[in-house]
Structure 1
């Protein structure tokens, strides 16, 4: 991985790590999950429109044969993912959500086995088992009362969605610039959110200042800039090497949530997160006969 790819990936990890706390702050400040995902992606979409209109910027229209794939990318990687994370963050801590999202390489590996015909060594299968055991521990310890939280299901669906997103996204980097591809999938992913339009203005007016600033932040940075820096990193470096940096993302998420919201995941959830990441590392460094890259989005 070259230095620029490393720098772009690190910027992404730090910004995405802060997104979980920002989402929680917006939800606690008066936003509904529906209005938050719509508002942040209206901001992100408008930001890309402004960029495309800058004199001298050349934005190519996508080829007709790619329209369906771009729509699917947006609906899966943006719409499904962010609905899962945002709705899930209503009932679980920012750090717990980040650790569950860190499990997405496990789902990527399973998809790669069937779609890309990847083969795992024995250690790979052991790593998958350890990873799912970690997810189970996080689920059990998602709150201090050791009761199941429905937010877990939403975030796991988001983790699965981001895994599918990578498999569909990677081939398009050969035909589109990172910022073009990011803009197209952002616009496509924003369309389903328009269903949540009723009451948006009233929701913004009744939210606290902190909630509104947090929503603007996640619209510009995690939903916009970080997607571009991640796409640049993937286009310039080996995807599997770049993606290893995402294993430290929950650390940033936990630190930001602790400083900003005075919120920490339960001890059992932290243990589960360590077990899950250990399983992911085992799969990717000792368990594969053919390397497949991964990505996690916020």
Structure 2
């Protein structure tokens, strides 16, 4: 829905990002108490209240800025390249996560889990798929520009994901999301506020949907789903996002993807789904009991 709403909202990417963040903050402030009443709140292990310290504040600021870059470039990609190009470009985040983790391990020896061959295979396959999708090598081409913005969106999202997993993993994820959105709203205010008066009522309604349902509610539901699902299985579902977006854009806006886009998209989605599925199956296998040599 994010890509679809980015097309429907008649405003620039700065306004969309600002509006999404504001309504997401409201949603992420209201939804958790409702989940608590319904008995679907995150488990106790994820409810660390983590008092706000200077160090934690800088972490929220850094991850919030990365989130702002991710959203702005994604909506620029939607506006210039279309929903299919934007979502497939964003799908590069899986490959970027592998590369970022590898760089961190190389710089800080022994920091983190070694990159597996399946991760490198996924990165290679995704790269091939992205090469197929690339419309032209001319930066003046609007679709190519949109695709590059989609790649930057994927890179910034990957950087934020790695940052969160390494430095914010102990904090309640809904609280992290809310505070990151606060940062996004503050950062984008200077760019968005001067043009808010030109935004139509219809676009404001779509911004509410984008912020409340596609950000606040979706994040809360994702966190709650992890009580019943392994993260690999949840990731398997999320990996299909480009499929939903492309089909919806095809039906709603007649954005018919080219043969190269379809081929590249199938390769990218196949790589993400295949690796996620194999990891999910691996976690289902019982761990053999080992006896101590002592």
Pick the TM interval, shorter chain.
0.7 to 0.9
Equivalent residues, number: 260
1:194 corresponds in structure 2 to: 189
Deviation at 1:86, TM superposition (A): 0.8
After TM superposition, what 4+ stretches of structure 1 lie above 4 angstroms from structure 2? 49-54, 56-61, 171-174, 234-237, 281-287
1:99 aligns with 2:88: yes
1:216 aligns with 2:212: no
1:40 aligns with 2:20: yes
Q: Secondary structure at the match of 1:197?
A: helix
Deviation at 1:253, TM superposition (A): 0.8
Distance verdict in 2 for CA 1:19–1:227, change over 3 Å: same
TM-score (norm 1): 0.74
Contact 2:80–2:142 (8 Å) recurs in 1: no
User: RMSD over aligned Cα, in angstroms?
Assistant: 3.3
Mark the runs of 5 or more structure 2 residues left unpaired by the alignment: 38-46, 105-111, 284-294
Cα deviation, 1:66-101, whole Å, max 9, x if unaligned, reads 22112212111x201101101111111212211222
- Please give the alpha-carbon distance, in whole angstroms, between the structure 2 residues aligned to 1:183 and 1:120: 33
Matching residue within 155, 173, 180 for 2:150: 155
Q: Larger Cα Rg: Structure 1 or Structure 2?
A: 2
Contact 1:95–1:253 (8 Å) recurs in 2: yes
Distance verdict in 2 for CA 1:50–1:284, change over 3 Å: closer
Cα deviation, 1:248-280, whole Å, max 9, x if unaligned, reads 111111222223323232221111111222344
1:164 corresponds in structure 2 to: 159
Cα deviation, 1:80-134, whole Å, max 9, x if unaligned, reads 110110111111121221122222111111122233352332x654442221111
Mark the runs of 5 or more structure 1 residues left unpaired by the alignment: 1-17, 292-298
- Please give the alpha-carbon distance, in whole angstroms, between the structure 1 residues aligned to 2:195 and 2:205: 15
Cα deviation, 1:269-298, whole Å, max 9, x if unaligned, reads 1111112223445666679xx99xxxxxxx
Deviation at 1:60, TM superposition (A): 4.4
Aligned ranges for residues 269-284 of structure 1 at < 5 Å? 269-281=261-273
TM-score (norm 2): 0.75
Aligned ranges for residues 112-151 of structure 1 at < 5 Å? 112-115=101-104, 116-121=112-117, 124-140=119-135, 149-151=144-146
1:185 corresponds in structure 2 to: 180
Distance verdict in 2 for CA 1:126–1:174, change over 3 Å: closer
Aligned ranges for residues 230-245 of structure 1 at < 5 Å? 230-234=222-226, 237-245=229-237
- Please give the alpha-carbon distance, in whole angstroms, between the structure 1 residues aligned to 2:58 and 2:185: 15
Distance verdict in 2 for CA 1:200–1:280, change over 3 Å: same
- Please give the alpha-carbon distance, in whole angstroms, between the structure 2 residues aligned to 1:227 and 1:51: 10
1:5 corresponds in structure 2 to: none
- Please give the alpha-carbon distance, in whole angstroms, between the structure 2 residues aligned to 1:236 and 1:69: 29
Contact 2:98–2:120 (8 Å) recurs in 1: no
